[in-house]
Amino acid sequence: MRQLIAGNWKMNGTAAMAADLVGALAAAGELPCDLLVCPPATLIAEVARLLTGSTVAVGGQDCHARPSGAHTGDIAAPMLRDAGATWVILGHSERRADHGETNEVVYAKVLAAVAAGLTPIVCVGETEAESQAGQQAAVVAGQLSGSLPEDFAGAVAYEPIWAIGTGKTPTEADVTAMHALIRGRLKELLGPTGERILILYGGSVKPENAAALLALPEVGGALVGGASLKAADFLAIAAAAQA
């Protein structure tokens, strides 16, 4: 399976910025991986239009658990699909922290995303305090069993919260151990499908550390925040993927 390099633009981006960034991605030519960009909801339709005919996919950063209704300010999965998205990030730690999203909420959103034809990327990862207390394995195992339905067929992103936007990354040994643990848990939860789920690493992935992280066992790609806002950096990370 090809590695996936996914860009999470978070709450950043204007139409002008998207045109520059996405234009550079579409012109990049052959890469050793698949590319996905997840702009803010306001730009999904425009980015999808700009990427028509390219292999770069478009995703949302969240969706509501209901397909429509009286939920002011929210965006439903079928609306993302209608705008041109084929993927959606769910349960990002910033959603879990800023919007109180529990594993149960993420589970419901996964069902909604799949029903709308979107492939979910479910994020898991421990806080710094949990890491220092040696609880990361238990935390991540609990997030996986609580957030994933038993027929899950999307991707998982391991993002230690203390590594997001901080420039800090876990050691290669720690990433390897956590990805092995996630693979084992996915097989327990999902059976043979669990072997094929892409497990992305996220948290301060940069051009400088991408090759080392992407070469680790069971790392199926990267979920990139800050460095996905600059085409040169995002493409350098993509170029570092394992062919």
Look up 71 and say whether it is catalytic: no
Nearest to 182 by CA among 217, 209, 212: 217
Q: Does 184 bind ligand PGA (CB under 6 A)?
A: no
E strand residue ranges, the chain: 4-8, 34-38, 57-60, 87-90, 119-124, 155-158, 199-202, 221-224
Binding mask 141-180 toward ligand PGA (x if CB under 6 A, else -) reads ------------------x----xx---------------
Among residues 63, 105, 112, 205, the one that binds ligand PGA under rule CB under 6 A: 205
Interatomic CA distance for residues 57 and 220, integer angstroms: 17
Among residues 59, 84, 154, 203, the one that binds ligand PGA under rule CB under 6 A: 203
Nearer to ligand PGA, 6 or 190 (CB): 6
Nearer to ligand PGA, 78 or 91 (CB): 91
Look up 159 and say whether it is catalytic: yes
Nearest to 76 by CA among 90, 89, 62: 62
Interatomic CA distance for residues 152 and 107, integer angstroms: 10
Nearer to ligand PGA, 112 or 223 (CB): 223
Q: Does 8 bind ligand PGA (CB under 6 A)?
A: yes
CB 155 to ligand PGA: min, Å: 13
CB 101 to ligand PGA: min, Å: 14
Per-residue tokens: 148: 């994933």
Interatomic CA distance for residues 47 and 18, integer angstroms: 7
CB 66 to ligand PGA: min, Å: 25
| Distance separating the N- and C-terminal Cα atoms of the chain | 9
- Reduced to 3 states (helix: H, G, I; strand: E, B; else coil), residue 101 is coil
Name the DSSP letter for residue 13. Answer: -
Among residues 90, 225, 237, 238, the one that binds ligand PGA under rule CB under 6 A: 225
Query: Catalytic residue numbers?
Result: 92, 159
